[in-house]
Amino acid sequence: MAYTTINKSTDNFNTKLYTGTGSSLAITGVGHQPDLVWIKKRNGATSHTVTDSVRGVNKQLFTNEIAAEESYTSVLTAFDSDGFSLSTAGLINASSDTYASWNWKGNGSGSANTDGSVTSTVSVNQSAGFSIVSWTGTGSNLTVGHGLNKTPEMIITMNRDNGNGYWVTYHKDTSASPQTSYIYLAVNSPKVDGYAGFWNSTAPTSSVFYNGTDGDMNTNGEKMIAYCFSSITGYQKVGSFIGNANVDGPMIVTGFKPSFILIKNVNATQSWRLVDNKRIGYNPNNIQLYPDITNTESTSEYVVDIVSNGFKVRATDAGVNGSGNTMIYLAIGQSIVGSNNVPCTAR
């Protein structure tokens, strides 16, 4: 049996819930100093805010918006040793409002990577299969070093300078030829196949991913960002399943108890779905948010049960269980058995 090298998942990723105060606020208990912080107000229709240590604490992107990067001093003010600090913007810290944050550990503000045809800046956590990658487009086909030392299976990219950016996403299971397929994070549209403009018709390798000439990923002189993920035994899984439109839905074996699940039906006009182990935090009441829209979290339909070795789909909702459709997912969790041989418990 292959054991994970990660004994404490919260050293690398953690969901942290908090209540806003309307005043400067330090969020602690994350378990590490995060390099990527994704925040969404749970009880209000606001954008999903994404901040990372490579772009800088005052630079924000929004997963549900087709918009360029914005600079705010009223959102995050610091990445702290056990969390992050907030200013007073209602988007992330309105008095008495409730929020969810998802926090990833990289390796600080990043360093130069020369594996590709252009130099990238990479903040990487190889043991957790995660990296943040920044580079500048050339308008010509190019390669970008990602730092993972293994092939990324999901890459979420954004043109930081382009007001028409769509969060172009690569996933190994979008099609039989994922290097010519893409799906957007910021909209609910299905995948598109047979297109060379984003990945230059070439699958990523253990050192680089490929850029075609489409301006959403490669405009000359414009800054790009990517978040890269690869599967790690017992900790992280990039995968897919086929829906059956039944409340007795597919059982997805990840090899760990998930703490975060991101799902998209690639064959249908359906929103992305995001479930974690903190909101509400027990079966069958795992409630969902939607990364491509501003909606408050749904408390009317519970789409999956989180179990000790994966997740069980419990809804007929086409967004997570369309009949005969392919659902891609990213799942992060804690190990069933780590290198310390300590099993995790069921819920």
Give the largest CA-CA distance in the chain.
Answer: 50
- What pTM did the predictor assign? 0.95
Query: What type of residue sits at position 59?
Result: K
Q: How many CB atoms lie within 10 A of CB 215?
A: 15
pLDDT value of residue 1: 40
Residue that wins the pLDDT comparison between 6 and 194: 194
What span, in angstroms and rounded, lies between the C-alpha atoms of 126 and 130? Answer: 6
What span, in angstroms and rounded, lies between the C-alpha atoms of 266 and 251? Answer: 19
- Place 282 in a pLDDT band, splitting at 50, 70 and 90: low
Phi, psi dihedrals of residue 335, rounded to the nearest 5°: -70, 145
- Place 4 in a pLDDT band, splitting at 50, 70 and 90: low
pLDDT value of residue 287: 85
**Residues recorded for the chain:** 347
Mean pLDDT, the chain, whole residue set: 92
> Could you give the dihedral angle defined by the CA atoms of residues 285, 272, 104 and 16, in that order, rounded to the nearest 10 degrees?
-30
pLDDT value of residue 283: 74
What span, in angstroms and rounded, lies between the C-alpha atoms of 153 and 69? Answer: 25
What span, in angstroms and rounded, lies between the C-alpha atoms of 312 and 283? Answer: 10
pLDDT value of residue 339: 55
